Amino acid sequence: MASGGRALIVIDYTYDFVAPDGKLTCGAPGQAIGPYIARQIEDFAATGDLVVFAVDVHDEGDWYHPESRLFPPHNLRGTAGRALYGAVGAAYDRLAADGLPANVRWMDKTRYSAFAGTVLEMDLRARGIEELHLVGVCTDICVLHTAIDAYNRGFRVVLHEKGVASFSPEGHAFALQHVRQVLGADVK
Ligand code: ZN
């Protein structure tokens, strides 16, 4: 059973989005937040709270996908670019060593928001979860879109400032301000 009605959503912390030579990397700011996110993962997993790894997936040559006009190919299915990066990857591997515990889930997504076309909302409602803690990348793209969808669905949002990053300092600052002032989220 859910203990505290909260979940940690780890967004897109993959090789392509974080590694120095990732296809669509956030660069150094993304690499710097790995250990903080890994601590949150271990904390939430240990208390029995839900941990969801929401991970972008694309198929090569999917020209119908809107991102195909916006970004170079990234997080392609079956490639190393989709592997979780650094300390976050290590935290996941530790949890998965004996099979993922029931409170830890991997969830593919194909759009910015972790809610778009996924079972995330059903999983949260089924567990009575009302509070979402968001970490990952990029602050102003997938994290922001997930925060907005969470707001529209009536979830409380806690955005971990030390656990989010973007390739764009301006976008990062805007997103934090928007999430705090317009979504009424707790930015900590
Ligand atoms: Zn994408």
CA-only gyration radius of the chain, Å: 15
Q: pLDDT-based confidence at 2, cuts 50/70/90?
A: very low
Mean pLDDT of the chain: 96
Q: Could you tell me the distance, in angstroms and rounded to a whole number, from the CA of residue 16 to the centre of ligand 1? A: 10
Neighbours of ion ligand 1 (CB under 5 A): 56, 67
- Band of the pLDDT at 3, cuts 50, 70, 90? very low
Say which DSSP state 116 is in: T
Q: How far is the CA of 129 from the centre of ligand 1 (A)?
A: 26
Write the burial class of residue 118 (CB in 10 Å: 0-12 exposed, 13-18 middle, 19+ buried). middle
Both tokens of 159, joined, read: 């955005």
CA 23–ligand 1 middle distance (angstroms): 11
For the chain, the domain total comes to: 1
pLDDT digit string, tens, across residues 139-153: 999 999 999 999 999
| C-alpha 109 – ligand 1 centre gap (Å) | 9
Q: Domain range holding 85?
A: 5-187
- d(CA 179, CA 5) in angstroms, rounded, equals 21
**130 CA to middle of ligand 1, Å?**
27
Contact of 176 with 139, CB cutoff 8 Å: yes
- Please tell me the predicted confidence (pLDDT) of residue 4: 55
Q: How far is the CA of 144 from the centre of ligand 1 (A)?
A: 14
At 128, list the tokens: 């009575």
| Residues 107, 11 contacting (CB under 8 angstroms) | no
> What is the CATH number for 11?
3.40.50.850
Task: Specify the pLDDT at position 161.
Answer: 98
Whether residue 1 is predicted with pLDDT greater than 60 in this model: the reply is no
Indicate yes or no: pTM above 0.85. yes
